[in-house]
Structure 1
Amino acid sequence: MTGHRRYPSDLSDARWKLLEPTLSAWRAERRGNGLDFGRPPEHDLRRIMEAILYVDRTGIPWRYLPHDFPPWETTYGYFAHWQKDGILEKLNGVLRRLIRDREGRDAEPSACVLDAQSVKTSANVPTAGQGIDAGKRIVGRKRHVGVDTVGLLLAVWVTAASVSDNAGGIHLLSAIAAAHPTITKAWADSGYRTKAIEHGATLGIDVEVVQRDPTVKGFRILPRRWIVERTLGWLMQHRRLARDYETHPHRSEAMIHLAMIDLMTRRLTHENTPNWRDP
């Protein structure tokens, strides 16, 4: 790729090679179905993905995209189509299986870890889509996530912050059981009580609550739970996720899939993920 100045979020040739087959197949299918109105593609898929990753990594509004990227309307249009058509979720699955295979694990996991994260929202998020997490005193949204034992995303559900962890756990377990029938074990914190445990049992998943020792003061790493908490830390390296800026919850879920795609492609190509702080 030449003709423009490179950004730290841009894709290397090796990372693009991991994404190109899925995105090119999506474009070819749309052309075959006549969804592009017979017009030849005007913008390069790689540059569009780099523009979307730039937004996810830097946290800027879509309208503030630098002018050396495709127009923001085009970029957002592709992002919306990829979310709606399940392309970002599909890429997440492809990359996850590649990582698990490289590390000598079965392509499909047998266990998962559940957790939730409440975040504040921006002014453009409708009031009806927000809620109050009374325990954490946060007005905004909640991200319910399920990861495998490596910390790679299996399922995500974004709701108002007022939705309980229990309700989120039930939704996640149903989604995980449908997509990954090999999973028979799940670990979670004390927020996932009776109903989530009982629902897991109906799906053939043994949900174990990892309790914090009340006699221990200060920070302590908890078995299994640290895996999903580390994943949430990985996500927060993307400024678009430091707060929820998306008008629609499903777009928030897509931003989380994007962050994981960014992280997994770097992991597969042994490239560092630069932090906000320039060393």
Structure 2
Amino acid sequence: MSARRSYRSDVSDVRWALMEPVFTAWREKRTGPGTAARVHDLREIVNAILYVNRTGIPWEYLPHDFPPYKTVYDYYAKWEADGTTELVHDLLRDKTRRTHGRSTEPTAAVVDAQSVKTSGNVAETSQGIDAGKKIKGRKRHLITDTLGLALAVLVTAASVHDSAGGKQLLTELAATHPSVSKVWADGGYSASFLQHGAGVGIDVEVVQRPRVKGFHPLPKRWVIERTFGWLMQHRRLVRDYETSPQRSRAIIHWAMANKMSRELTGESAPTWRNETEIPPTTT
């Protein structure tokens, strides 16, 4: 790693130790023209991706002390396409579940969707209008465990109904996490969604919203609302800036990997001040 001044989004030594084996193994498997030099430090590539994710800047606006932005994006695209990003995410999720005293394989989950606006570079063919939310853009369909950690992620046009996207997620969930037998959903999911769940061996229960004024956390379902809050702390996810839905899915995995690695190491985003600059408190 270079001796540059650290950014707040950089991974610490202990955070890097959590994910480094996956990236080292990836690099060792790479063969062919152009792979012998291996000029760039993989930790710096990860730092650059997290910088974009957390700050929301375009790739070409990466600070010059990172590797070239085209190189960073090339790694980002390769890791999304070959499953490396998801592998790192799943590794951190399993570790996080264990620190909470849970088995790595959950038995219950929560499903929901979030519509967000898109940027001007997103093709019309991959976006749509959510008539209910009156948002033109894309929709993020998520299934999380009861800790709010992502188990399945799908990005579609916002015009895709929650139930249609949810059915795809249930099918994926049944294949990748067969231990899940219960899923909680809100009233926006149709009867066909519940029937699809039964068809793949999952009992789907709709949690009804209470008929009272004001905000009230919904039993079982509040955890996924918190997950969407975690995602929105990453400015790259306030809108959908990615040209393809699959790259949007990868950005979600990176945001969750950032969140989980910080939780595992007990870290928060550092202050700009050094400890010596903080005035002492008086009693």
> Which runs of 4 or more aligned residues in structure 1 lie more than 4 Å from their structure 2 counterparts after TM superposition?
none
Counterpart in the other structure of 2:209? 212
Whether 1:115 aligns to 2:122 is no
The number of residues matched between the two structures is 271
- Alpha-carbon separation, structure 2, partners of 1:74 and 1:94: 25
- Alpha-carbon separation, structure 2, partners of 1:3 and 1:219: 48
Whether 1:198 aligns to 2:220 is no
Counterpart in the other structure of 1:20? 20
Counterpart in the other structure of 1:100? 97
Q: CA deviation at 1:2?
A: 4.5
Counterpart in the other structure of 1:29? 29
Counterpart in the other structure of 2:238? 242
Counterpart in the other structure of 2:56? 59
- Aligned pairs (5 A) from 1:1-279: 1-30=1-30, 34-213=31-210, 215-273=211-269
- Alpha-carbon separation, structure 1, partners of 2:169 and 2:188: 14
Preserved CA contact (<8 Å) 1:126 1:247? yes
Structure 2 unaligned residues grouped into runs of 5+: 272-283
Q: CA deviation at 1:193?
A: 1.6
- Alpha-carbon separation, structure 1, partners of 2:162 and 2:270: 32
Q: Secondary structure at the match of 1:21?
A: helix
- Alpha-carbon separation, structure 1, partners of 2:258 and 2:83: 17
Counterpart in the other structure of 2:278? none
One-letter amino acid matched to 1:18: L
- Alpha-carbon separation, structure 1, partners of 2:264 and 2:146: 17
One-letter amino acid matched to 1:4: R
One-letter amino acid matched to 2:223: I
Structure 1 unaligned residues grouped into runs of 5+: none
In structure 2, the CA distance between the partners of 1:64 and 1:162, relative to structure 1 (3 Å rule), is same
One-letter amino acid matched to 1:259: A
Q: CA deviation at 1:128?
A: 1.1
C-alpha distance after superposition, 1:150-169 (max 9, x if no partner): 10011110000000000011
In structure 2, the CA distance between the partners of 1:63 and 1:223, relative to structure 1 (3 Å rule), is same
Preserved CA contact (<8 Å) 2:117 2:135? yes
TM-score relative to the length of structure 2: 0.94
Q: CA deviation at 1:39?
A: 2.2
C-alpha distance after superposition, 1:98-129 (max 9, x if no partner): 11111111110001100000000000001111
Using the aligned pairs only, state the percent identity. 59
Structural RMSD (CA): 1.2
- Alpha-carbon separation, structure 1, partners of 2:20 and 2:91: 12
TM-score relative to the length of structure 1: 0.95
- Alpha-carbon separation, structure 2, partners of 1:274 and 1:181: 39
- Alpha-carbon separation, structure 1, partners of 2:108 and 2:270: 30
- Alpha-carbon separation, structure 1, partners of 2:64 and 2:17: 25
- Alpha-carbon separation, structure 1, partners of 2:235 and 2:269: 13
One-letter amino acid matched to 1:106: S
C-alpha distance after superposition, 1:63-112 (max 9, x if no partner): 00000000000000000000001011111111111111111111100011
Preserved CA contact (<8 Å) 2:8 2:269? no
- Alpha-carbon separation, structure 1, partners of 2:245 and 2:35: 32
In structure 2, the CA distance between the partners of 1:273 and 1:176, relative to structure 1 (3 Å rule), is farther
